[in-house]
Structure 1
Amino acid sequence: MAANLISYVPGVLQEVREFKAITTVENPEIDNLSVSLGLALNNQFIGYLDNYGCSRWETMLAIKPLDTDTLQERNFRILARVNEQLPYTYRSLEERLADLCGKDGYSIVMDKAKYILNVRIAQSAKKNFSAVAELLDRITPCNLILSISLLYNTHNMVGGFTHNQLSAYTYGQIREEENL
């Protein structure tokens, strides 16, 4: 959006050389200001953070980003930290995991007799595994044993493939790939 400041000057003064020169020089400054205001507004919302916004939120929340983190992963980690609320219920934990990993991106099993909470993260949410593990570690009550792992492909998932089809993949690929 290019600024056109001359249009704000009264019509009788629009042809004056000084007003033309002033508005021509100020147009780029107003454009830069408009862009900066848009970025500042976007940095108020976690889903729209740029690098500067992420670094500000990470400083406030004491999050140390990894050198290999993408902007999306940094946004995710910030969102996970902001969404923390104690105490939690089993249902709210399921909702939080659904928000972070997707509706089918996790499985959760609570063994009440042994005080074990088993959480498995789907391969599709593998890049967010460490952020989910940190979140669960912070919000899970200390009397529970927390077991977090990736939800690997099972025989039922790959049982429809023939041996020849599967021979094109390594064992690790068959076990860990989202889409074979």
Structure 2
Amino acid sequence: MDREINLLEYLPGVLREVKEFKVLSAAENHETIKLWEELENVLDDQFVNESTLNGVKRWESILGIKALDTDLLSDRKFRILSRLNEQLPYTYKNLDAQLALLCGANGYKLILDNSAYALTVKVALTAKKKFTEVGNLLDRVVPCNIVITLLLMYNQHKTLKQFSHAHLHQYTQKELREEVLN
């Protein structure tokens, strides 16, 4: 926000005409504007969506989150928000909601086998960047007596059959298996 500050206006009328006070006020105007900007940043840093880089670093420190070198500021804010949105008790319904928030509605499959105490979570290729974060979430919220299997939903024949052989020939086997194809 551009703030107009003129400290000269705060001086008594007699002093406004003194050359030294004019120069001093002009010099201090710039510093006062910078101070206001920093105060606004401090206020913004209290809210994750409005945070500056400094605020995001502080939130990560508080929550014990390690940022990746490849993360954008928006990715880091998203990770903070997902951590803040975790709620007790950890039920299947809450876990499903957390995964939907993290990966998107169609970005995962959640399979619970109550008799075997096993939970399988498959992350779609479209949400592949969130794979590690999903693993961290599961480690935090799933009870210790449940075996967790976390998988990536690779491309299958039914996905690939819509493309011509010439189009698929442009990709390596690994790309065909693990990348979202256009």
Q: Is the 8 A contact 1:3 1:30 kept in 2?
A: no
Provide the TM-score with structure 1 as the length reference: 0.85
Further displaced range: 131-140 or 118-127: 118-127
Alpha-carbon spacing, 1:154–1:47, altered in 2? closer, same or farther (3 Å): farther
1:174 maps to which of 173, 176, 179: 176
| Alignment partners' CA distance in 2, 1:13 and 1:104 | 70
Counterpart of 1:37, as a letter, is L
The residue aligned with 2:49 is 47
* Per-residue Cα deviation, 1:16-45 (whole angstroms, up to 9, x for no partner): 134432321121112101221222122112
RMSD: 2.4
Structure 2: state its 5+ residue gaps: none
* Per-residue Cα deviation, 1:51-106 (whole angstroms, up to 9, x for no partner): 32222222222233344444333323322322222322222111111111122221
Alpha-carbon spacing, 1:21–1:75, altered in 2? closer, same or farther (3 Å): same
Aligned length in residues: 180
Further displaced range: 6-15 or 163-172: 6-15
* Per-residue Cα deviation, 1:128-152 (whole angstroms, up to 9, x for no partner): 2112211111100122111111122
The residue aligned with 1:5 is 6
Alpha-carbon spacing, 1:7–1:158, altered in 2? closer, same or farther (3 Å): farther
1:80 maps to which of 67, 76, 82: 82
| Alignment partners' CA distance in 2, 1:4 and 1:72 | 32
1:93 maps to which of 89, 95, 102: 95
| Alignment partners' CA distance in 2, 1:179 and 1:14 | 71
Give SS of 1:161's match.
coil
The residue aligned with 2:66 is 64
Q: Is the 8 A contact 2:7 2:28 kept in 1?
A: no
Alpha-carbon spacing, 1:6–1:42, altered in 2? closer, same or farther (3 Å): closer
| Alignment partners' CA distance in 1, 2:11 and 2:30 | 21
Give SS of 1:94's match.
helix
| Alignment partners' CA distance in 1, 2:130 and 2:14 | 59
Q: Is the 8 A contact 1:3 1:28 kept in 2?
A: no
The residue aligned with 2:140 is 138
Q: State whether structure 2 residue 162 is matched by structure 1 residue 160.
A: yes
| Alignment partners' CA distance in 2, 1:76 and 1:125 | 13
Provide the TM-score with structure 2 as the length reference: 0.84
Alpha-carbon spacing, 1:152–1:24, altered in 2? closer, same or farther (3 Å): same
Q: Is the 8 A contact 1:80 1:131 kept in 2?
A: no
Identity percentage over the alignment?
41
Q: Is the 8 A contact 1:2 1:27 kept in 2?
A: no
